[in-house]
Structure 1
Amino acid sequence: MGKLKPVSPMATPRGQKRRRDKPKRPVLDDGLPDSSAGIIAAKAARREKPPNESPQVLHQNDDDDSDDCNVSSEDEAHDMISNKSDAFDEMESSCSFQRHVTHVLANDEVNALVNQKSKFKWEMPAEEIPKSKWVGTGEKIKGPSDDLFVDVKGKLKDHWQKVLSDDLNYRSRFFSLCNSYRDIMHCNKKPFYLKGSKVDSSTMDAYLMHALSHVHRTRDVVIKNDAKLRNDANTDVMEDDSYRDQGFTRPKVLFLLPLKSIARRIVKRLIQLSPLTQKDNSMGQFKKEFGESDDELEEPNSSKPTDFNLLFAGDVEDHFLFGIKFTKKSVKLYSNFYASDIIVASPLALKLKIDGGEVTKKKGRPKENDSDFLSSIEIVVVDYADVISMQNWSHLHAVLEQLNHLPSKEHVTNVMRIRPWYLDEQARYYRQTIILSSHLTPEMNALFNGLCLNYEGKIKLATEFTGVLPKVQLEIRQVYERFDASSIGELDDARFEYFCTKVYPKIQESDEGGVLLFASSYFEYIRLSSFLKSQDASFCRIGE
């Protein structure tokens, strides 16, 4: 009998005002964890400030490597002339960012989100994507806008008008969808490795611009409020929700990507789209670790298909994790996680970081479990989810489950400046998740439906596909077998039982050569391997 080869994936009411109950003075309970005591104190003292206490401005003497949760002293030196004008405040209050972060969730809204009662009830055409339409939950949006700069201001607008000189229509439409702050699943994106570099780049530009806009607006609001507090020592932070402008920690955007080569393309484009001209010495380290140009790529293998050569032409390392920090004049890579605005990571690296599985260079010991820098993530972009699905999908699922938890420690943050929905443990309902893929899988659907709970609603691309069986060139015999399952929850057990009792005996009796068994998840892989061992089968395993 031939060898059996079980194969796992190849790599690892807006404007509603909050009730102002007069609280008692907070008392920190030493028996609680650091962060719990601080958060309880903040909840109890939202509306009360001790007498003769001047308003607090964050990080007066902040350096680049400190646990910076918001903005550094370099950021605070930003020119505030325009921010003092009434026009600035009026424009900010009308933008989608401000409307999103200042919305107060009612109890019935939270209950509906927890119970996942929302349904896709409206649709609109998806221009430039054949046989497709956008379907959504919540209020119907007006439609994608062709004006890219309708909700963009200042240096970003000026810079993008110079950089994006052509083909703005698709970028504008997808940017307007991102700017609605709804969860998005676009699973018909033609990636660069399927000869779709133009559409792929336009989609990437759109979500990168949205991320940059979000980071800059967050900084501008914090800096403006810091300036107001410095100018008026009598301002009561706890009596004005407009000063609650921060999260538990500084990082606001998370990019989850499968390979270093893809991360290099995205980070380089992010820097090009940033109006900040100065780049520090960390660019040298980035080029050393991720490569400098496409000229360094290996020659394509003529025996492999085109998509294989394009996808695996660069560095296929799937373990990377670093932060990006934006200051007044520069972009800094490899910044301390708590001093970063954007985190770029592979699901594998971030999963190991969360679990404390990384090893320190000096002592050779596992690092302490520390994922507090994920507590205030407000935008998540999962690009090339189809590639991630061929690695280890459970890593991505575990990372998304870890987002927006209460921090385990108290970091350098003025708790009186934390947004109420962070203190109320509602941050996951404000987080926007964008999933991009070349095709849809049940796992992607499950993740989008189960872990994406944005109160704004969801937008999903629905595509009508034409049949492909007449296009099959190789006449290979394909046999599909049906098995019964009492419920979707029993599906995995029923499939495994059917394999053990019906399929495996046929394999044993067969005179055919080698047999390849493919497992779609690591759990199936382990289960299948254990069964084959119990049967004394001759097999080898190919895993991560």
Structure 2
Amino acid sequence: MEKATLLLVQLSFTICYSTASSVRDAQRHSCDKQNRHSGILGYVEYLKSGQAQGDVLLVVLEGDFAVRLGNKALIKQKVKVSKGRFYSITFSAARTCAQEEKLNVSISPNSEEDDDGIIPMQTLYSSSGWDSYAWGFQAEAEEVEISIDNPGMAVDPACGPLIESVALKVLHLPKGTGDHAPAERLKSLSSEDVAVYKEPSMYDSLLVSLKSSNKSFSDAHERRQRQEEGRSDSEEDDIGGLESDAESQSEEDGSDEGSDEESPGEHASESELLDSNVLGGEDEDVDTETGTDNEGLDSDEEDRLEGPSDANATATDYMRSLNAHLGHNLSKEEVDDLSKKRWKYKWDMPAIDMSNCKWTGTGECFLKDDSTSSAYGLKPSLYKHWLNIYKTSGGSDFHMSKERLFFSLCESYRDILHCNKKPFYHKGHREDSSIMDAYIMHSLNHIFRTRDLVTKNNAKKAKLEEAGNEELLFGDCFRDHGFTRPKVLILLPLRSIALRVVKRLIQLTPSNRKVNVEHMDRFTDDFGGGEAEDNDDGALTENVPALTQKSSKPSDYHALFDGNNDDHFMIGIKFTRRSIRLYSDFYTSDMIVASPLGLTTKIGEADSEKEKDVDYLSSIEVLIVDHADVIAMQNWSLVDEVVQRLNQLPSKQHGTDIMRIRHWYLDEYARFYRQSIILGYYLNPDINALFNHQFINYKGKVKLVCDYKGVLPKVVLQVKQIYQRFDAKSIEEANDARFEYFTQKVFPKIKDSVQGGIMLFASSYFEYVRIRNFLKSQNASFCLLGDYTKQSDISRSRVWFFEGRRKIMLYTERAHFYHRYKIRGIQNLIIYSLPERKEFYPEIVNMLNGSDIMTCTVLFSKFDQLRLERIVGSLASKRMVTSEKGVFVFS
């Protein structure tokens, strides 16, 4: 069956994101004024992604904009079509209010009476709650008018369904056989004869390829030989062998911060094909470098000269840990055991420069066997370059450095959890940079080693073919591929942090491999901006704005947010023999750097559009989540969604040589080989759950365990801090138990009080919504300062609270994280749930007005111990959750 050709339609307001080659090229707040064939009627609202509706943040999954149809609202568009052809109008929609909502789809002209499509909206809006709809028709003229309207009437005229991703698809009938035309052929078939077409699965393709004759593989090798001899139209100068025969072609097709789209198909000429990429980028330049694949591999002699002075060190030493890790084949029994395994931590080692912390791990301790004789498993050229940078920056003993220790942890290929990393924005430049350097070097080492292995095997196969030993060509020793090329995925929260990481990545790459860095200017423009800038050594300067008036916000806030704080990005990075290519096509990239939001947007596109996929995630072997604490303030569930999509069987073959794919990829065991590293400032239950239950690397786990002193000494006011413990039987019941304790024990004391100035602080948005609804039900005098409160409402609420016109203010941790408000007028502070970020506790408590009647009450349970120990200290927290007493006072 032929694939339908996709035609993006300029349908009313949706024109602003679906027809422009870039979001930046579109008119963001009005439709294309030159298009006179579109129209609207009734209450039509144009929405931007991220726009708040009450307490809900609207997220448009496809593009940046959507349209909402209110009472009797209609949007229509005239479209040029081919008379007699079959089409399908498709779109995504969701209802935004509780009442029943419908949409009516109609096509004009239409000779059939009452041939409209009344579609009931089933799904209430959520961040993933968009349903897809389609309405088919046969064109009766060369131009038709497509209308979508909301026939309903609601009390709120703005209450109506949201619409996005409007498209028109050309439907093609199956090709006829013999003398029958397609239509006649369909009429002649009985219902039993009609078979539903099913696209071949990945395994179907694998089986077909495995049944091919030896000649097909010989032909494939001849194609490679022609490329090496310069007779190919698309030469590629990679650091290793080709991951797939299709890479060079996809590279020339262009990309948008890396692209995952296929070629349009044979019917593309019938329509104007328009770029619908939500990220909105430019085409990638064609790779003009030439050379053979073997040039991508450093010679053994070069590596031997660049390596350490130990006489026993050879160029193949650096491959040992990689071969040991990826060369191991798990049995089904081992996989079954891993799926239900409870990890036991058996050893611990002190952490360098962190007297209160220690590393603990499963299995045997590998750190005690560390040796200085083999460059710690680094590719010698990388080792020499890193050592020079370390010494130039003032380092002395590399073996005892944080960089070297953390690299050794990474080199073990175990999963790693480091959630006490002092970030750069808290004056932790040295520690943050040390850890970043280590995981960057590990990523480079992994990429270079995997490509070196492919190149060496290509050379071996060529020699065997020349010698006529074809029976040896298909042995397991040549299985060195995944399904796709990308091997490293780095998740980061903000563009400014991605700028810092990628710049450091370029600095740590040996000079002979970065003769040319492609698209660096574009990258700096896209990811730079703001006040925060990078030094040449990769350290982020705290370039606090040089304002005439002193800023009321702390320095760590400026260090984090004064740069480009956009959280929606994704970029592919490719390494060739002499260059680094930024914005490479995702399928030809070695590394992908993305935000969770940017990547889940791509996943959403792949789920809603059959032509797209995210198969480039199928062969990720190293996952790094840095600044997990900042991502937790954004939306941690997006990380969970990304992890769920890693290492799945691809939907398409992507031209990979089947006989080179490792067995454990074909057996769907790749997730047991993936190394996952989480780095952050603190640990919370969501991060802990992901590490404990979703990361199941067969090599084992390593994590950092710390004792905390607490932050109570940073409270400068003489205020009694009363901690009240409530009982909860399980973590699932903790939220209900907390709410019940608040409503029955705490709120009655403040309900009838004439005293105002009561602040309720809640850590999560869900707690905020629950308390807000309860206060409404009690007719309490309160104001809101939440995650999605409008700026005008925030200013008014702060004035009302300070003047005493509202007794209670409800405040969230996320609002404080993004704005750091100084709230005046607080006399009674009630901390419904402790903040995740320990420094927020003294900041909030110190906002009390300093009067004699000020109080601070904190609610906690034994399931809050992760937060509790960071605030009161590890020893105190253990006593507080186990003591028979339920009330504790600090002053």
* Superposition TM-score, scaled by structure 2 size: 0.52
CA deviation vs aligned residue, 1:54-90 (integer Å, no higher than 9, x gap): 344542871424689xx998672525684799x9998
Match of 1:425 in 2: 668
Match of 1:400 in 2: 643
Q: Which residue, 571, 582, 585 being the options, matches 1:322?
A: 571
Aligned: 1:482 with 2:725 = yes
Contact 1:83/1:224 (<8 A) preserved: no
SS at match of 1:348: helix
In 1, the alpha carbon distance for the partners of 2:566 and 2:560 equals 12
Return the letter of the residue paired with 1:348. Answer: L
- Cα deviation for residue 126 of structure 1 reads 1.6
In 2, the alpha carbon distance for the partners of 1:243 and 1:263 equals 36
Return the letter of the residue paired with 1:155. Answer: S
The alpha-carbon distance between structure 1 residues 514 and 249, as it changes in their structure 2 partners (threshold 3 A), is farther
Return the letter of the residue paired with 1:252. Answer: K
The alpha-carbon distance between structure 1 residues 265 and 484, as it changes in their structure 2 partners (threshold 3 A), is same
Contact 1:74/1:328 (<8 A) preserved: no
SS at match of 1:125: strand
Q: How does 1:178-257 map to 2 (within 5 A)?
A: 178-233=410-465, 234-236=469-471, 239-257=474-492
The alpha-carbon distance between structure 1 residues 35 and 391, as it changes in their structure 2 partners (threshold 3 A), is same
Q: How does 1:84-103 map to 2 (within 5 A)?
A: 91=316, 95-103=320-328
Contact 1:377/1:431 (<8 A) preserved: yes
- Cα deviation for residue 398 of structure 1 reads 1.7
Q: How does 1:57-206 map to 2 (within 5 A)?
A: 57=221, 58-59=244-245, 62-63=248-249, 64-65=251-252, 76-78=293-295, 82=299, 91=316, 95-143=320-368, 145=370, 147=372, 149-165=375-391, 166-167=394-395, 168=398, 169-206=401-438
Q: Which residue, 190, 199, 202 being the options, matches 1:35?
A: 202
In 1, the alpha carbon distance for the partners of 2:734 and 2:292 equals 53
Return the letter of the residue paired with 2:293. Answer: E
Contact 2:246/2:654 (<8 A) preserved: no
The alpha-carbon distance between structure 1 residues 107 and 533, as it changes in their structure 2 partners (threshold 3 A), is farther
Aligned: 1:299 with 2:550 = no
Match of 1:376 in 2: 619
- Cα deviation for residue 229 of structure 1 reads 2.4
Contact 1:237/1:416 (<8 A) preserved: no
Contact 1:245/1:419 (<8 A) preserved: yes
- Cα deviation for residue 510 of structure 1 reads 4.5
Return the letter of the residue paired with 2:490. Answer: F
In 1, the alpha carbon distance for the partners of 2:297 and 2:534 equals 41
Of 228-237 and 194-203, the range deviating more from structure 2: 228-237
In 1, the alpha carbon distance for the partners of 2:766 and 2:534 equals 37
Contact 2:572/2:591 (<8 A) preserved: yes
In 2, the alpha carbon distance for the partners of 1:371 and 1:505 equals 53
Q: How does 1:304-453 map to 2 (within 5 A)?
A: 304-356=553-605, 370-453=613-696
Q: How does 1:456-467 map to 2 (within 5 A)?
A: 456-467=699-710
SS at match of 2:461: helix
Q: Which residue, 504, 514, 525 being the options, matches 1:277?
A: 514
The alpha-carbon distance between structure 1 residues 330 and 110, as it changes in their structure 2 partners (threshold 3 A), is same
The alpha-carbon distance between structure 1 residues 186 and 112, as it changes in their structure 2 partners (threshold 3 A), is same
- Cα deviation for residue 117 of structure 1 reads 2.0
More strand, by proportion: 2
Which structure is higher in RCO with an 8 Å CA cutoff and minimum separation 6? 1
Of 480-489 and 197-206, the range deviating more from structure 2: 480-489
Contact 2:318/2:380 (<8 A) preserved: no
- Cα deviation for residue 495 of structure 1 reads 3.4
- Cα deviation for residue 140 of structure 1 reads 1.9
SS at match of 1:311: helix
SS at match of 2:725: coil
The alpha-carbon distance between structure 1 residues 149 and 498, as it changes in their structure 2 partners (threshold 3 A), is same
Q: Cα RMSD (Å) of the superposition?
A: 3.7
SS at match of 2:439: helix
SS at match of 1:391: helix
Q: Which residue, 207, 213, 228 being the options, matches 1:50?
A: 213
The alpha-carbon distance between structure 1 residues 107 and 35, as it changes in their structure 2 partners (threshold 3 A), is closer
In 2, the alpha carbon distance for the partners of 1:221 and 1:268 equals 27
In 2, the alpha carbon distance for the partners of 1:523 and 1:339 equals 41
Return the letter of the residue paired with 1:387. Answer: V
CA deviation vs aligned residue, 1:295-315 (integer Å, no higher than 9, x gap): 995616532222222222312
The structure with more radius of gyration: 2
- Cα deviation for residue 133 of structure 1 reads 1.2
CA deviation vs aligned residue, 1:416-473 (integer Å, no higher than 9, x gap): 2111111111111111111111222222211210111111110111112224434532
CA deviation vs aligned residue, 1:196-248 (integer Å, no higher than 9, x gap): 21121111111100000000011111122222223332445774212111111
SS at match of 2:737: helix
CA deviation vs aligned residue, 1:228-285 (integer Å, no higher than 9, x gap): 2233324457742121111111111111111111111110000011122233441111
In 2, the alpha carbon distance for the partners of 1:75 and 1:506 equals 78
SS at match of 1:230: helix
In 1, the alpha carbon distance for the partners of 2:246 and 2:491 equals 32
The alpha-carbon distance between structure 1 residues 143 and 60, as it changes in their structure 2 partners (threshold 3 A), is same
Return the letter of the residue paired with 1:100. Answer: H
Contact 1:7/1:516 (<8 A) preserved: no
The alpha-carbon distance between structure 1 residues 423 and 387, as it changes in their structure 2 partners (threshold 3 A), is same
- Cα deviation for residue 528 of structure 1 reads 5.4
Of 388-397 and 372-381, the range deviating more from structure 2: 388-397
Contact 1:380/1:431 (<8 A) preserved: yes
Return the letter of the residue paired with 1:374. Answer: L
- Cα deviation for residue 541 of structure 1 reads 6.2
The alpha-carbon distance between structure 1 residues 470 and 288, as it changes in their structure 2 partners (threshold 3 A), is closer
In 2, the alpha carbon distance for the partners of 1:32 and 1:77 equals 37
* Superposition TM-score, scaled by structure 1 size: 0.82
SS at match of 2:377: coil
In 2, the alpha carbon distance for the partners of 1:533 and 1:162 equals 64
Match of 2:524 in 1: 287
- Cα deviation for residue 531 of structure 1 reads 5.7
- Cα deviation for residue 149 of structure 1 reads 2.1
Contact 1:118/1:138 (<8 A) preserved: no
The alpha-carbon distance between structure 1 residues 39 and 486, as it changes in their structure 2 partners (threshold 3 A), is farther
In 1, the alpha carbon distance for the partners of 2:317 and 2:616 equals 27
CA deviation vs aligned residue, 1:346-388 (integer Å, no higher than 9, x gap): 1121122212299xxxxxx989663221111111111111222
Return the letter of the residue paired with 2:447. Answer: V
In 2, the alpha carbon distance for the partners of 1:278 and 1:84 equals 21
The alpha-carbon distance between structure 1 residues 80 and 332, as it changes in their structure 2 partners (threshold 3 A), is closer
More helix, by proportion: 1
- Cα deviation for residue 183 of structure 1 reads 0.6
Q: 5+ unaligned residues in a row in structure 1: which ranges?
A: 13-28, 359-364
Q: State the percentage of identical aligned residues.
A: 46
In 2, the alpha carbon distance for the partners of 1:195 and 1:268 equals 20
Aligned: 1:455 with 2:690 = no
In 1, the alpha carbon distance for the partners of 2:612 and 2:749 equals 47
